Every structure is written in C-alpha cells, then in structure tokens.
Structure 1
C-alpha cells in the first residue's frame, strides 16, 4: 500500500500548503529557545521560491502586526487596571454605606438599592472591559491609540527642542 501511495500525485492549494508547513515547523521546533537568523529565513524562502522582496514585505507586515498586538496588550492592561480601580471604589463605598445603614437603622434597607443599581453598572463595565471582540472595543482602542500617538509625538518634539537645547 505504501508503494501505491507514493505513485499518487497530490495537489494542494496555497492555504493548505501554508497550514501543512505551519504544523510541520511547529512540530520540528519543540525547542522554544531555537532561533533562526535572517539568512536562514532567506534560504528557506529561496527553497520555496519566494522572492526576497515578498519576504521583506511579509516581514514588515509581521512586524506591524506584532506592534499592534503589543499596543492591544497595553490597552487591555490599561482597561483592566481602570476596571479594578472602579470596582475597588464600588466595594469601599458600598461597604461604608451598608455599615451606615446597619448602624443607623438596625438593618439593611436603602443601602441595598444603591448596592444593586451601582452593581449593575459595574457588571456592564466588566463586560465592556473584558470583551475584546466588539465594535465598541475597537472604537475605544483606536481612540486610545491616537491619544498615545499624539503624546509620543509631543514628547518627541518637546525633547528635540527643549531638552537638547
């Protein structure tokens, strides 16, 4: 049966080839410390008949994606820290309100309403913070990204004109 399988010519589309090679490289590279030089990358591309220009464009796209992923991670950390701060404020204020309600009235009455309604807002905030696949997330990320680019530009100009002078 092995002889008949070797005689059969198989054809794969480009996406299938990419997936097969990706899996093969992943299996071969069990050693996470192993790194490839740019020359080795060029050799692999040459063996696959990929022009150096295409490789350079692909590398540039990959670097752009890596940079965006780092920006998104920083944005997610920022959002999570902001949520944790808001949740801490919610917990502290509501603890004090429950204590005042217990001491002042001998039971829990009005503080539960505040706890529940504010808790609903905190729950919505948690959903918005940890849900990263929505249009609102994308809008918030773009706004945050522009703000940080503007800060970076301002700091560069400031350093160029006032610190080096």
Structure 2
C-alpha cells in the first residue's frame, strides 16, 4: 500500500488538544520511568516559554483537581456503604418477620406485604443514589463535603483541646 504525498505531509497547524496529545507522547517517549521531578517540570515549561507563575498556578489547579477526585471517590464509597447498611437492615429485619409469620401460620401473609413495600423503597433509594448525575450529584456531593469538612474541623478542634488540656495537667 503506497501513501500519497498528501497523506505523508505533516500538518502545519494543530488544535490545542492535538498539541497536548503530541507532547504527551513525546514526554512519555523521553522518560523510561514516566516520572519527572518538579525541577524537570519547570525546565520543560521554560522550554515552552511558560513562566514559573503559570506553571505554579497550573500545578495548584491540578492538585485541587486531584483532591476533588479523591473526595468524590470517598463520597461514592460513602454512598455505597449507606446502601449496604440499609440492605443489611432490610435482610435481617425481614428474615425475622418472615420466620415469625411462617411459624405462626405456616404460610406468608402480613410479612410479605412488609417485605415488598420495604423492598420497593430500598430499591428506589438505591436507584436514586446511583443514578444521580450532573447538578443533582454535585448538590449531593457538596452537601456531603460540607458535613465531612465540619466533622473534620470538629475532630481537629477536639484534638487540639485535648492536647492543650494534657499539657496543662
């Protein structure tokens, strides 16, 4: 299969995304380990005529994105834990109720209604939690994050108070 002259000609202009992809490939080929020091980051940026301030701002934004991604992962883990706890309570309680109903009449009557209604609400709750997207997910995440930060602040304040109290004694 022979390539034509137009197919082998390299583009003269690139979109920003294309530049990023090409540079990522070039950087990946340059380093065997795929790791760079902060000093190397600033050297590469200088070669691209980027000021240290620009790189520091980008680095800070990247770190904030990483922190946000970690918090979102913790939030998703928390939601999964909540659903598992609710499901565990559902199983334990309904096992007891079904057993009690079977011992009384040897067939299911009233416990089946409780089992189905509670199961419906549990299913709707699980569906709601895991089908949150966009603004709904962001609102739920922000609410969780505020509570998380408040608990963390209270814990740090309590630890600080205990340390001061221990030093005073």
Pairwise TM-score range, normalised by the shorter structure:
0.7 to 0.9
Q: Name 1:124's counterpart in structure 2.
A: 124
Question: What residue in structure 2 maps to residue 61 of structure 1?
Answer: 61
Q: Which runs of 5+ in 1 are unaligned?
A: none
Q: What is the TM-score normalised by the length of structure 2?
A: 0.80
Q: Go from structure 1 to structure 2 and tell me whether the alpha carbon gap of 1:132 and 1:54 turns closer, same or farther (over 3 Å shift).
A: farther
Alignment of 1:80-99 (within 5 A): 80-99=80-99
Aligned partners of 1:98 and 1:111 also within 8 Å: yes
Post-superposition, which runs of at least 4 consecutive aligned residues in structure 1 deviate over 4 A?
1-9
Q: Tell me how far apart the structure 1 counterparts of residues 29 and 63 of structure 2 sit (CA, whole Å).
A: 23
Q: By how many angstroms is 1:29 displaced?
A: 8.3
The two structures, once aligned, show a CA RMSD in angstroms of: 2.8
Match of 2:17 among 15, 18, 21: 15
Structure 1 residues 29 and 133: alpha-carbon distance in aligned structure 2, compared to 1, 3 A threshold: farther
2:31, 2:42 → 1: CA distance?
22
Name the counterpart of 1:153.
153
Contact 2:101 2:107 in 1 (8 A): yes
Kept in 2: contact 1:128–1:137 (CA 8 A): no
Which residue pairs with 1:133 in the alignment?
133
The C-alpha deviation readout for 1:18-67, integer Å capped at 9, x for no partner, is 23333x16864896x64210111112212222221111101000111111
- Separation (CA, whole Å) in 2 of partners of 1:9 and 1:70: 39
Q: Give, in whole Å, the separation in 2 of the partners of 1:5 and 1:51.
A: 37
The answer to whether the 8 A contact 1:87-1:122 is kept is yes
Query: Within 1, Cα distance between the matches of 2:11 and 2:26?
Result: 23
Larger deviation, residues 146-155 vs 63-72: 146-155
Contact 2:75 2:144 survives alignment (8 Å) = yes
Q: Kindly tell me the number of residue pairs found equivalent between the two proteins.
A: 163
Unaligned runs of 5+ in 2: none
